[in-house]
């Protein structure tokens, strides 16, 4: 018998059986840090779950989630897809000049119009017959600065902003796009860096007829930061650091988390040391949260309808206000807002990123 058949038999059989044994014996992990999600556990076996096929489906999810060296295998896939097969993106993620981003394409005009409708609903329900001053600012996502250079498809941002402005004529538009560049974003995350957006805060304050200080102390979170795209990309990327800006006024602010009914702080260091360090800023995704400025020299209040980008810029606006309330209508239906906020003469800023507008089904 030819030696090569013996070798092929042994090598392939040992590989299959070895990996299989590893997979059977490996203890299940509870959480994937790189993907920031809970991993599927071994499903319950019952007559009903087998007959309905749900056991099989859950078992398949379990085997994928718990596969030995899962992250390493995902890295191999990303490497082969992008370097051997020449794919421009891996699972929609691409890299250019060390920056990682997720493609946002095509422009979903219907979604943008619906986003405008949802903002109009808030306006009609709470703002129309009040003395509030109402503003709109749009945060372009990283692709705006990266996609063309990286050679990937991207939406026409000017067209998108025109479209949302056309549908939100009741809001005064403040243009912050000129003050942003790719350097203002984390390399491995979708968000902007707080230390780079002081000028953006200034533009917003000027636009709303107030002012903001530029006097901050820069601090660095004592934890390596791997942004949301790090896990999704499965590419070997370097960690980053999160810096945050503070001063006496910010430190003396009283922050109230309505969602969880508790006081918290502008910079939640406990969350910052957690699974998603970006939650350092105002404790991450919370439907309704307020910041009271004890040192305020004004009675003005600001209400920000926002997505996650709002968490890091809100502290930079506090100098001009006595109170800022942040509302995330992705997590709370606007109909409930009347129970918590009395709209009368506040400044109201709708601050949304283009990626949320292009996927507005997340807005309630």
First to last CA, the chain: 69
Cβ proximity to other proteins: between 18 and 209 the closer is 18
Question: What b/e sequence results for 43-59 when a residue is b if at least 16 CB atoms lie within 10 Å of its CB, and e otherwise?
Answer: beeeeebeeeeebeebe
Between CA 24 and CA 252 the distance in angstroms is 54
**3-class DSSP string for 113-140:** HHHHHHHHHHHHHHHCCCCCEEEEEEEC
Instruction: List the one residue out of 196, 88, 96, 98 whose CA is nearest residue 146.
Output: 96
Q: What character string, x for contact with other proteins (CB under 8 A) and - otherwise, covers 152-191?
A: xx--------------------------------------
Interface of this chain with other proteins, residues 99 to 118, rule: CB under 8 A: 106
> Which residue in 42, 73, 336, 340 binds other proteins (CB under 8 A)?
73
CB of 2 or CB of 333, closer to other proteins: 2
d(CA 311, CA 139): 13
**Token pair recorded at residue 341:** 């906020």
CB 94, min distance to other proteins, A: 10
Span of 1-9, 30-38, 240-248, 349-357 interacting with other proteins by CB under 8 A: 1-9
Q: Which residues contact 47 (CB under 8 A, 6 or more apart)?
A: none
**Interaction of residue 256 with other proteins, rule CB under 8 A:** no
**Helices (H), ranges, the chain:** 3-25, 47-52, 54-65, 70-79, 109-122, 143-150, 157-166, 198-207, 228-233, 248-251, 269-272, 310-317, 354-357
Alpha-carbon span 201 to 193, nearest angstrom: 12
By beta-carbon proximity to other proteins, the closer residue of 47 and 261 is: 47
Contact residue for other proteins among 25, 27, 85, 98 (CB under 8 A): 85
Task: Fill in the per-residue mask, 140 to 159: x = in contact with other proteins (CB under 8 A), - = not in contact.
Answer: -----------xxx------
Find out whether 268 and 282 touch, Cβ atoms under 8 Å: yes
In angstroms, what is the minimal distance from the CB of 166 to other proteins? 20
- Give the x/- contact pattern for other proteins in 213-252, rule: CB under 8 A: ---------------------x------------------
For 264, what's the count of Cα atoms within 13 Å in the CB-facing half-sphere? 24
Q: Which is nearer to other proteins, 197 or 235 (CB)?
A: 235
Q: Is 56 in the site for other proteins (CB under 8 A)?
A: yes
CA 48 from chain centre, in angstroms, equals 39
Of 234 and 303, nearer to other proteins (C-beta) is 234
Q: Report in angstroms how near the CB of residue 237 gets to other proteins at its nearest.
A: 16
Per CB under 8 A, the list member of 32, 41, 91, 130 interacting with other proteins is 91
Cα separation, 52 vs 58, in Å, equals 11
Among 28, 45, 80, 273, binds other proteins (CB under 8 A): 80
Closest CA to 357 of 67, 132, 66, 138: 138
Residues that contact other proteins, how many (by CB under 8 A)? 49
131, 300 Cβ separation under 8 angstroms: no
User: Of 35 and 240, which has the nearer Cβ to other proteins?
Assistant: 35
CA distances from 111 to 81, 308, 338, 364 (A): 31, 19, 26, 13
- 78 vs 201 by CB, closer to other proteins: 78
Give whichever of 23 and 273 is closer to other proteins, judged by the CB atom. Answer: 23
Q: Considering only residues 14-53, where is the footprint of other proteins by CB under 8 A?
A: 15-17, 19-20, 23-24, 50-53
Q: Please, which residue, 157 or 321, has the CB nearer to other proteins? A: 157
Residues that bind other proteins (CB under 8 A): 1-9, 11-13, 15-17, 19-20, 23-24, 50-53, 56, 59-60, 63-64, 67, 70, 73-78, 80, 84-89, 91, 106, 151-153, 234
């Amino acid at each position: 018998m030819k030696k090569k058949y013996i070798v092929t038999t042994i090598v392939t059989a040992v590989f299959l059986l070895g990996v299989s044994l590893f997979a059977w014996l490996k203890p299940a992990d509870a959480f994937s840090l790189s993907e920031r999600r809970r991993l599927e556990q071994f499903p319950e076996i019952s007559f009903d779950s087998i007959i309905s096929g749900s056991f099989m489906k859950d078992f398949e999810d379990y085997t994928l989630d718990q596969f030995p060296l899962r992250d390493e295998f995902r890295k191999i896939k990303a490497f082969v897809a992008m370097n051997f097969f020449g794919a421009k993106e891996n699972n929609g993620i691409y890299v250019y000049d060390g920056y990682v981003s997720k493609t946002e394409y095509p422009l979903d005009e219907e979604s943008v119009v619906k986003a405008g409708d949802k903002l109009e609903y808030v306006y009609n329900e709470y703002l129309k017959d009040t003395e509030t001053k109402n503003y709109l600012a749009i945060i372009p996502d990283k692709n705006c600065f990266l996609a063309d250079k990286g050679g990937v498809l991207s939406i026409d941002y000017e067209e998108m902003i025109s479209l949302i402005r056309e549908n939100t004529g009741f809001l005064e538009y403040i243009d912050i796009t000129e003050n942003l560049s790719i350097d203002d974003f984390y390399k491995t995350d979708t968000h902007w860096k707080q230390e780079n957006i002081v000028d953006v805060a200034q533009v917003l304050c000027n636009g709303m007829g107030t002012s903001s200080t530029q006097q901050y102390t820069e601090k660095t979170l004592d934890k390596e930061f791997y942004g949301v795209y790090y896990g999704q990309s499965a590419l070997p990327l370097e960690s980053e650091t999160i810096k945050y800006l503070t001063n006496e006024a910010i430190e003396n602010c009283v922050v109230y988390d309505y969602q969880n009914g508790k006081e918290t702080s502008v910079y939640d260091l406990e969350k910052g040391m957690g699974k998603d360090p970006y939650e350092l800023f105002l404790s991450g995704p919370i439907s309704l949260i307020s910041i009271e400025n004890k040192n305020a020299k004004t009675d003005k209040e600001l209400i920000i309808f926002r997505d996650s980008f709002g968490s890091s810029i809100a502290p930079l606006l506090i100098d001009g206000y006595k109170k800022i309330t942040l509302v995330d209508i992705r997590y709370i239906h606007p109909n409930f807002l009347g129970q918590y906020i009395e709209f009368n003469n506040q400044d109201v800023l709708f601050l949304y990123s283009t990626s949320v507008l292009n996927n507005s089904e997340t807005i309630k």
